[in-house]
Amino acid sequence: MYTIEMAYAHMRSMQEQAHRSRVAKAATAGRRQDAGERRTTTSRTKKR
C-alpha cells in the first residue's frame, strides 16, 4: 500500500538529490574558474 508518508519521503529524497546535484555543479564551476578556465585542445579545434 502506497501512503502519503511514502510519497512525501520519495519527494523529499528527489529534492535532496537535486540539491546535491546543484551543489556539485557549483563546486565544479568554482574549481574550473580557480584553474583559470584551462582547457585541453583537440584536433578539431586546431584546424587552421
Q: What is the pLDDT of residue 33?
A: 67
User: Which residue type occupies 14?
Assistant: M
Q: What is the pLDDT of residue 30?
A: 73
Q: What is the pLDDT of residue 21?
A: 93
**Distance (Å) of CA 48 to CA 38, 40, 44, 45:** 21, 17, 10, 9
The CA distance from 47 to 31, in Å, is 29
Residue with cell 574558474: 33
Q: What is the pLDDT of residue 40?
A: 60
Q: What is the pLDDT of residue 1?
A: 86
Q: What is the block-wise mean pLDDT of the chain (48 residues), using blocks of 10 residues?
A: 95 96 85 63 60
Give pTM, 2 decimals.
Answer: 0.52
